[in-house]
C-alpha cells in the first residue's frame, strides 16, 4: 500500500510539473526528446551490426511510445518493476557476454538498448529525462565504434540538430519551472499567447543555426589541430563475418557461403596499366587436406622489422628460405605499385599481390612463413592501409617445362600429403595428365580439364556428402572455387606434383570515380599454386567462369556512395599527420596559385582601367561638349537608380493610404504615424514607452483626446484585427484631428 501510494504521488507530481510548463514548450520538448531517441537508434541500427531481435524489440517499444505521444498519454512502469528488471538483466548481460554474443561491445549495446526501452516507460522524475538523453548519446557512441561509413556522418549531424533542440527546450522548460511568474504566464489569454507553431519554428531555426555553426567549427578544428596518429576505432571490434584469407582453415563449401554476401572487404588501387596482373590478392596459403577441409600446418615465422616504414620483402624472404621463387633479371621492369585499403577487421593477415617485393605501412614489424603468407605483428597499428610493389611478370612456360621434378625433400614432404582418397580420383588424375610429359603441361592440362568439364554454382546440396570432393568430381559436377582448387591440388598431388591452395580475393568492381577496385565478400576466391624447382610457386586457376551479375538500375549510385565512403575513410577516419601535411601542402600550393592568379587579374584590370581613362581623357580633349552631355546623362541615370526604390516605396505608401480598405494593417500603421507626427508638432509627442491607449489619454485637450481615442480604437481594429471598415474611416478621423487643431 505504501509503495502504491508513493508511486501515485510520483505520477501526480510529474503531471503537476508538466502542467506548470507552457504547453507549446512542453510539447516541443517531449517530441524532440523522442526524436533524439529515434535518431540515436536509427544511426545504431544503420551500422548493420544489430541482430534482428534487438531491432524488432526496440522498434516495437518506440512505436508504442509514438502512439502514446500522439494521443498525449504516457504509460509509466512502477519503480519496483524497473528495479526488478534491472537486477534481472545483470544475469542476462553476463550470459550475453560469455555465451551469446561473446563480445563486449555487442553485449554493452544490448544493455544500452534495454535501459533505453525501460526508461522510456518509467519516467518518474526530472532526472529520468536526462537519463534518456544520455542513453541516446550512448547509442551514437556505439554506432561510432561499430561503423566507419559515411552514413554515420548523416546520422550524427541529425542527432546533433535534434540534441540542440532538445536541450534548448529542456532549459526553457527548467527555467519555466523555476520562475515565480509561471502562473501569470499561463493566465495570459490564449489570443495573446505565442502560437505553438511559432514556438516550434523559432526553436527549430535556432537549433539548426547552432548545429550548422558547431559542425563548421568542428570541421575547421578537425583539419587544423596537430595529429599524432589515426586509424579505425572500429578496427578493434570483432568482425561480423568470416572472410576468405582471414582463417587458417577452410571447410569445403565455406567460401561459397562467404560469396553470397555483398559486404565490402577492401579497396585495391593500382598505379598504371598492367595487363599481366590477374586480379588476385592473396591472404593465406593452406597445405594440409583431410578430405573435407584445408588447414595450415605449423610453421616457423620469420620476422621483418621496418626500415623507415618500408619492408624489402624479396631480399628478406630469399635469405630466410632458398626454396622460395626467384625474380628473374629479365622481369625486373614489370613492377606494379598498388595500395590496399581494408575495411575494419580483427585479422592481422596482410593481403598482398603475388610477387610483392616491397611493402610499406604504418606497422613496425611483420612476419612471414615459408608459404609467403604475411601477418602484421604490430597490434597498435591495424592492417588497414598499406602500399606494395609487385613483380607481375608472367612465368616463362619454356623454363617451367625444363624445371623437371627434382623436388626438395621438405617441399615433397609437406606439399604431397594426401588423406585416403576415393580410388576414382587418382585414376581421373592419371587419365587427364596421360598425354603430358612434364609437370607444367600436366598442371596446365588439369586446369583446362576442370574449367571446361565442370560448372560453377553457389548452390549447396541439402545433405552434405560424406566425401565432398568425390561428390563434386563424379556426381554433382558443379561447385564453386574451393571445389575446383581442391580437385586440382589433390589430383596433381596424386601424380606426384607438389601443390597448395591459396585463398584471398579475385576481381572486384572497378570504380572509375576513385580509380580503385571494390572488392566484396562475394569476390572471395581460392586457387592453386604449383611448385617448380628453381622457379618457385606458379599460380593456376581451374575454376570455371561464374555468371556475371548485372549492374542494376542503381549501380552508378552505388559507385558514388562507395566513392564517398573512400573519401570518408581516407580523410576523416584515417586522418593523421601525414594526411595533414599533404593537405597543408595542397592548400598552400593552391593558395599561392590563386594569389598569383588574383594578382595577375587585378593587374590586368588596372591596366585596362588606365587605358579606358586615357581614352576618356582623349575624347574629352577632342569633343568636350559631347562628352559632357554623356557624363550628365550617366550621372542622372545613377541618381535615378539610387532614388528609384525610395520613390517607389513612397508611391506605394501613398496608394495604400489612399485606399486603406485594400490593405488595412499597412494603412492603419501609415495613418497612425501621420496622426502622431501631426500632434507632435503641437506639443503632444508620443513617448516610446506609451501604448496607443496611454498616448491618447495623455492629451490634455478634451476634444482632441476624444477624437484621438476614437482614432486609436479604429487603428487597433484595423492593425490587429484586419478590419477594412475601420481602416477606411481613419483618413476621415485624421482630417477631423486637423480641424480640431485649427479650432483650438
Percent above pLDDT 70 for the chain: 77
The pLDDT value recorded for residue 484 is: 93
Average pLDDT, the chain: 78
Q: For residues 524 and 50, give the distance between their C-alpha atoms in angstroms, rounded to a whole number.
A: 24
Closest CA to 497 of 406, 562, 363: 406
Q: For residues 229 and 362, give the distance between their C-alpha atoms in angstroms, rounded to a whole number.
A: 9
Q: For residues 485 and 500, give the distance between their C-alpha atoms in angstroms, rounded to a whole number.
A: 9
Q: For residues 550 and 555, give the distance between their C-alpha atoms in angstroms, rounded to a whole number.
A: 9
pLDDT reading at 373 higher than 60:
yes
The pLDDT value recorded for residue 554 is: 65
* Contact yes or no for 133/167 (Cβ under 8 A): yes
Name residue 361's beta-bridge partners.
Answer: 386
Q: For residues 606 and 612, give the distance between their C-alpha atoms in angstroms, rounded to a whole number.
A: 10
Helix axes 424-432, 481-494, angle to 10 degrees: 80
Binned at pLDDT 50, 70 and 90, residue 234 comes out as: very low
**Model-wide pTM > 0.85:** no
The pLDDT value recorded for residue 725 is: 87
Mean pLDDT of 25-44: 88
Binned at pLDDT 50, 70 and 90, residue 453 comes out as: very high
The pLDDT value recorded for residue 89 is: 86
The pLDDT value recorded for residue 242 is: 47
Please write the tens of the pLDDT for every residue from 586-606.
Answer: 667 777 787 788 888 888 888
Please write the tens of the pLDDT for every residue from 150-190.
Answer: 677 788 888 888 888 888 888 888 777 765 444 434 443 44
pLDDT reading at 224 higher than 70:
no
Q: For residues 667 and 656, give the distance between their C-alpha atoms in angstroms, rounded to a whole number.
A: 6
Q: For residues 563 and 14, give the distance between their C-alpha atoms in angstroms, rounded to a whole number.
A: 50
Percent above pLDDT 90 for the chain: 14
The pLDDT value recorded for residue 297 is: 66
- C-alpha cell recorded at residue 90: 545483470
Please write the tens of the pLDDT for every residue from 680-722.
Answer: 887 888 888 888 888 888 888 888 888 888 888 988 888 888 8
Binned at pLDDT 50, 70 and 90, residue 577 comes out as: low
The pLDDT value recorded for residue 193 is: 46
The highest-confidence range among 42-51, 256-265, 395-404, 554-563, by mean pLDDT, is 395-404
Number of neighbours of residue 445 by Cβ within 10 angstroms: 15
Give the H/E segment covering residue 651.
helix 624-658
Instruction: Report the alpha-carbon angle 337-343-345, nearest 5.
Output: 115
Please write the tens of the pLDDT for every residue from 634-681.
Answer: 778 887 787 888 778 788 888 888 888 888 888 888 888 888 888 888
Amino acid at each position: 500500500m505504501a509503495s502504491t501510494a508513493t508511486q501515485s504521488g510520483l505520477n501526480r507530481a510529474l503531471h503537476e510539473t508538466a502542467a506548470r510548463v507552457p504547453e507549446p514548450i512542453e510539447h516541443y520538448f517531449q517530441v524532440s526528446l523522442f526524436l533524439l531517441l529515434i535518431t540515436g537508434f536509427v544511426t545504431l541500427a544503420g551500422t548493420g551490426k544489430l541482430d534482428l531481435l534487438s531491432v524488432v524489440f526496440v522498434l516495437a517499444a518506440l512505436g508504442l511510445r509514438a502512439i502514446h505521444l500522439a494521443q498525449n498519454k504516457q504509460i509509466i512502469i512502477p519503480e519496483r518493476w524497473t528495479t526488478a528488471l534491472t537486477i534481472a538483466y545483470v544475469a542476462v548481460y553476463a550470459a550475453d557476454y560469455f555465451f551469446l554474443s561473446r563480445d563486449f561491445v555487442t553485449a554493452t549495446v544490448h544493455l544500452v538498448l534495454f535501459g533505453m526501452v525501460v526508461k522510456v516507460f518509467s519516467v518518474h522524475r526530472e532526472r529520468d529525462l536526462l537519463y534518456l538523453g544520455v542513453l541516446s548519446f550512448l547509442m551514437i557512441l556505439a554506432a561510432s565504434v561499430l561503423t566507419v561509413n559515411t552514413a554515420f556522418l548523416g546520422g550524427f549531424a541529425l542527432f546533433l540538430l535534434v540534441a540542440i533542440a532538445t536541450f534548448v527546450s529542456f532549459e526553457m522548460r527548467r527555467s519555466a519551472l523555476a520562475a515565480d511568474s509561471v502562473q501569470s504566464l499561463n493566465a495570459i489569454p490564449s489570443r495573446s499567447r505565442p502560437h505553438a507553431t511559432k514556438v516550434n519554428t523559432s526553436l527549430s531555426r535556432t537549433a539548426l543555426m547552432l548545429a550548422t555553426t558547431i559542425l563548421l567549427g568542428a570541421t575547421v578544428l578537425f583539419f587544423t589541430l596537430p595529429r599524432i596518429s589515426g586509424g579505425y576505432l572500429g578496427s578493434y571490434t570483432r568482425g561480423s563475418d568470416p572472410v576468405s584469407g582471414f582463417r587458417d582453415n577452410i571447410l569445403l563449401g565455406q567460401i561459397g557461403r562467404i560469396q553470397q554476401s555483398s559486404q565490402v572487404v577492401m579497396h585495391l588501387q593500382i598505379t598504371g596499366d598492367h595487363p599481366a596482373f590477374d586480379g588476385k590478392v592473396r591472404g593465406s596459403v593452406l597445405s594440409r587436406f583431410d578430405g573435407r577441409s584445408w588447414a595450415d600446418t605449423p610453421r616457423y615465422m620469420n620476422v621483418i622489422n621496418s626500415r623507415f616504414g618500408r619492408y624489402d620483402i624479396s631480399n628478406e624472404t630469399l635469405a630466410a628460405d632458398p626454396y622460395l621463387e626467384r625474380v628473374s633479371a629479365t622481369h625486373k621492369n614489370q613492377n606494379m605499385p598498388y595500395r590496399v585499403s581494408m575495411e575494419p577487421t580483427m585479422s592481422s593477415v596482410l593481403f598482398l599481390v603475388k610477387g610483392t617485393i616491397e611493402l610499406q605501412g604504418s606497422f613496425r614489424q611483420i612476419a612471414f612463413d615459408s608459404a609467403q603468407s604475411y601477418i602484421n605483428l604490430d597490434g597498435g597499428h591495424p592492417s588497414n592501409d598499406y602500399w606494395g610493389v609487385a613483380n607481375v611478370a608472367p612465368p616463362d612456360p619454356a623454363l617451367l617445362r625444363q624445371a623437371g621434378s627434382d623436388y626438395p625433400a621438405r617441399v615433397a614432404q609437406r606439399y604431397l600429403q594426401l588423406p585416403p582418397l576415393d580410388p576414382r580420383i587418382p585414376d581421373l588424375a592419371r587419365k587427364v595428365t596421360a598425354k603430358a610429359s612434364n609437370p607444367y603441361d600436366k598442371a596446365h592440362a588439369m586446369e583446362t580439364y576442370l574449367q571446361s568439364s565442370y560448372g560453377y554454382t553457389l548452390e549447396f546440396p541439402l545433405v552434405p556428402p560424406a566425401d565432398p570432393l568425390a561428390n563434386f568430381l563424379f556426381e554433382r559436377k558443379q561447385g564453386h572455387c574451393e571445389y575446383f582448387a581442391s580437385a586440382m591440388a589433390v589430383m596433381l598431388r596424386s601424380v606426384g606434383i607438389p601443390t597448395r591452395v591459396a585463398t584471398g580475393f579475385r576481381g572486384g568492381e572497378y570504380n572509375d570515380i576513385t580509380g580503385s577496385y571494390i572488392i566484396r565478400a562475394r569476390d572471395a576466391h581460392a586457387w592453386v599454386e604449383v611448385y617448380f624447382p628453381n622457379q618457385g610457386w606458379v599460380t593456376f586457376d581451374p575454376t570455371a567462369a561464374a555468371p556475371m551479375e548485372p549492374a542494376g538500375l542503381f549501380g552508378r549510385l552505388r559507385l558514388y556512395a562507395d566513392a564517398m565512403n573512400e573519401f570518408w575513410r581516407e580523410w576523416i577516419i584515417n586522418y593523421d599527420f601525414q594526411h595533414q601535411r599533404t593537405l597543408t601542402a595542397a592548400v598552400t600550393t593552391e593558395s599561392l596559385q590563386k594569389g598569383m592568379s588574383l594578382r595577375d587579374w587585378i593587374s590586368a584590370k588596372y591596366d585596362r582601367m588606365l587605358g579606358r581613362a586615357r581614352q576618356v581623357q582623349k575624347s574629352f580633349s577632342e569633343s568636350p561638349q559631347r562628352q559632357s552631355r554623356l557624363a550628365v546623362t550617366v550621372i542622372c541615370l545613377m541618381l535615378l537608380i539610387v532614388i528609384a526604390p525610395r520613390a517607389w516605396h513612397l508611391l506605394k505608401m501613398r496608394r495604400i493610404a489612399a485606399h486603406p480598405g485594400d490593405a488595412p494593417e499597412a494603412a492603419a500603421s501609415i495613418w497612425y504615424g501621420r496622426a502622431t507626427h501631426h500632434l507632435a508638432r503641437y506639443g503632444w509627442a508620443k513617448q516610446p514607452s506609451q501604448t496607443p491607449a496611454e498616448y491618447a489619454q495623455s492629451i490634455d485637450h478634451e476634444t482632441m483626446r476624444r477624437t484621438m481615442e476614437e482614432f486609436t480604437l479604429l487603428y487597433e481594429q484595423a492593425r490587429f484585427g484586419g478590419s477594412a471598415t475601420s481602416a477606411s474611416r481613419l483618413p476621415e478621423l485624421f482630417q477631423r484631428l486637423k480641424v480640431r487643431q485649427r479650432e483650438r
